[in-house]
Amino acid sequence: MEESAVSLQQQLLEAGVHFGHLRKKWNPKMLPYIFAEKKGIHIIDLNKTTECLQEAAAALKSIAKSGKKILFVATKKQAKDIVAEAAQKVNMPYVTERWLGGMLTNFATIRRSVKKMQSIEKMLTDGTLDSVTKKERLRLQREKEKMEKVLGGVAQMARLPAAVFIVDITHEAIALAEARRLNITTFGVVDTNADPTKVDFPIPANDDATKSIAIIIHYVTAAIAEGLAERASEKEEQHEEEEIHEHTGRRELSLEAEEEEVPKPVRGSRPAPPKRRVPLAGGGGRKPSSRR
């Protein structure tokens, strides 16, 4: 475990996770996570980053193993492509273009918009719009593309997520506020200019560098993938056990049916005496003697 922690720290160091913001931009609540100050820039303590990252990964793995969804939020230019690709690999919802106000607190309206987008897509593919004008078809096509750009990542999210993972909680303040209002578990990459007390699982790290964001996202999505794999294996084992029980039950029922078919002797009863054969008249038997 110690060797893996050391190797993780080395990877974090090479990715530049330890670089914070200028001292004049810092948040005093980040003091426990700051190692030192160098040339007016705060240096993040990678020991704390490693601990927080491992703790967050374990919690995310547990959520994924329970079958619940984790929403990834990253609308920053440096993070959107990395987050979208990683979330798609583990089949989790994500928002990388623009956070629509009320995406969590007004989830019913968002679901209606998603259904509208899906219905337009269905009409465009099954030939329903062949009879309409080209202008109308083009308008619907543009509307669908616009909606897909914003809602495409949450199209398969049928209910509210169990957790929200945010890259740069200062930039995604609205998403964080909505998640907190609904008591959804929050995970966040927190730089030296942010308040770590606003999230349940803060990960102190550089949230501006692409390499720093990539290494953290890949680490947590790997943990999520492990949780999903364990869930799948448990389901398979459970299915096999059910099949074995079902087969055993059928066998027991067949044995009981066979036992019922065989008549059992009544306790305390005597067997019936054998029937005596009566000789036929004119047969080869002895004739009864006549009395005089």
Q: Do 12 and 98 share a domain, yes or no? A: yes
Where a domain ends, among 231, 261, 281? Answer: 231
Strands 41-44 and 70-73: unpaired
Q: Do 109 and 99 share a domain, yes or no? A: no
148 vs 114: CA distance, rounded Å: 8
Q: Do 34 and 169 share a domain, yes or no? A: yes
Q: How far is CA 284 from CA 14, 110, 281, 287, 290, in A?
A: 118, 105, 9, 9, 18
| Domain at 142, CATH number | 1.10.287
178 lies in a domain? yes
120 lies in a domain? yes
The whole-chain average pLDDT of the chain stands at 84
Q: Do 10 and 141 share a domain, yes or no? A: no
Whether residue 57 contacts residue 215, with contact meaning beta carbons closer than 8 Å, is answered with no
Q: Do 89 and 174 share a domain, yes or no? A: yes
Full residue range of the structural domain in which residue 142 is found: 105-152
148 lies in a domain? yes
Residue labelled with tokens 């059928």: 250
Q: Do 115 and 207 share a domain, yes or no? A: no
Q: Give the 3-state secondary structure of 98-137.
A: CCCCCCCCCHHHHHHHHHHHHHHHHHHHHCHHHHCCHHHH
pLDDT tens, position by position, 43-56: 999 999 999 999 99
Q: Do 148 and 136 share a domain, yes or no? A: yes
Burial class (CB in 10 A: 0-12, 13-18, 19+), 52: buried
pLDDT tens, position by position, 160-213: 999 999 999 999 999 999 999 999 999 999 999 999 999 999 999 998 899 999
280 lies in a domain? no
Q: Do 44 and 82 share a domain, yes or no? A: yes
240 lies in a domain? no
Q: Do 117 and 224 share a domain, yes or no? A: no
Q: Do 96 and 71 share a domain, yes or no? A: yes
Where a domain ends, among 94, 122, 152? Answer: 152
Q: Give the 3-state secondary structure of the chain.
A: CHHHHHHHHHHHHHHCCCEEEEHHHCCHHHHHHEEEEECCEEEECHHHHHHHHHHHHHHHHHHHHCCCCEEEECCCCCCHHHHHHHHHHCCCCEECCCCCCCCCCCHHHHHHHHHHHHHHHHHHHHCHHHHCCHHHHHHHHHHHHHHHHHHHHHCCCCCCCCEEEEECCCCCHHHHHHHHHCCCEEEEEECCCCCHHHCCEEEECCCCCHHHHHHHHHHHHHHHHHHHHHHHHHHHHHHHHHHHHHHHHHHHHHHHHHHHHCCCCCCCCCCCCCCCCCCCCCCCCCCCCCCC
Where a domain ends, among 231, 249, 276? Answer: 231
64 lies in a domain? yes
Q: Do 7 and 142 share a domain, yes or no? A: no
Instruction: Output the furthest CA–CA distance in the chain (Å, rounded).
Output: 152
Per-residue pLDDT of the chain (292 residues; tens, 9 = 90+): 554 667 888 888 888 888 888 888 888 899 999 888 888 889 999 999 999 999 999 999 999 999 999 999 999 998 999 999 999 999 999 999 889 888 999 999 999 999 998 888 888 888 777 777 888 888 888 988 888 888 889 988 989 999 999 999 999 999 999 999 999 999 999 999 999 999 999 999 998 899 999 999 999 999 999 999 999 888 887 777 777 766 676 666 666 666 666 555 555 555 556 556 655 555 455 555 554 4
261 lies in a domain? no
50 vs 53: CA distance, rounded Å: 5
The count of domains in the chain is: 2
273 lies in a domain? no
Q: Do 58 and 178 share a domain, yes or no? A: yes
| Domain at 179, CATH number | 3.40.50.10490
